[in-house]
Amino acid sequence: MRRSGKLERLLLIIGLSLLGVYVGARIHSIVLARLAADKFEAQQSTLREQGKGNPLHGETPDFSLWSEKRIKDYRDSLNAHFAPALALLRIPKIHLQVPVLEGTDDLILNRGVGLIAGTARPGDEGNIGIAGHRDGFFRGLKDVGPGDRIELAEEGKTETFVIDNIVIVDPKDVSILARRERPSLTLVTCYPFYFIGSAPQRYIVQASLTSSDLRNLQANENVDSEFQRIGEHENKK
């Protein structure tokens, strides 16, 4: 019995020691992560005050909905070099502001959201396709709905789109990127949002250019056509 009691006490001491080591390691990890985040945010604030960097860079993301892995991948991507952003995507309802970069590879989508190859470019007619990670920048899409605004800002110009459709499709369904009746924007992310592993579906948010912006676009096209007509007339002289 004495040996049994000693063994139990020994095992209890070992267990408490291991628990103490684990708790200490977790606290150390959390403190280091918080210090790293504070350092990064301080650097970003300094750059904004100095007016440096691409004006189309987004704000420091709100990581509250992000997965731990996606937060790490985002911070790792800050050390990589990227071409200037094509535009800045803003969704006021979910307080999202993120740069739109060229392409949809892993590094691009860790840093921002990406323009899908073969779709219209920001500022052009057609259907602009933009992809983002469901556990990063685009997790907030679960909280948007028809009637919500999406803004696409370029240098000196901002176009506003209004969400008119949300669908869930198979990954092979590319029809959602086809040209629509009016200039449009399609946001693509994986679904379900909290699925563990490779998500089996895609969550699609479709939005159309507002009437006022559409009139401006048509007016600009009429001006361009008139200049082209004048140029052709001069060449014939």
* Set 81, 95, 133, 233: catalytic member: 133
How many CB atoms within 10 Å of residue 24? 10
Is the dihedral angle over the CA atoms 222, 224, 227, 229 positive or is it negative? Answer: negative
220 φ/ψ angles, rounded to the nearest 5 degrees: -65, -40
233 labelled catalytic: no
95 labelled catalytic: no
Residue that the structure tokens 């063994």 belong to:
7
For residue 151, what are its two tokens?
């803004």
Q: How far apart are the C-alpha atoms of 63 and 1, rounded to whole Å? A: 55
Identity of the residue numbered 231? G
Residues 6+ apart with CB under 8 A from 237: none
Q: How far apart are the C-alpha atoms of 15 and 234, rounded to whole Å? A: 90
Helix or strand run (H / E) with residue 129: strand 127-131
Q: How far apart are the C-alpha atoms of 189 and 170, rounded to whole Å? A: 12
Q: For strand 87-91 and strand 96-102, is the pairing parallel, antiparallel, or unpaired?
A: antiparallel
* Set 57, 81, 95, 190: catalytic member: 190
Residues designated as active site: 133, 190
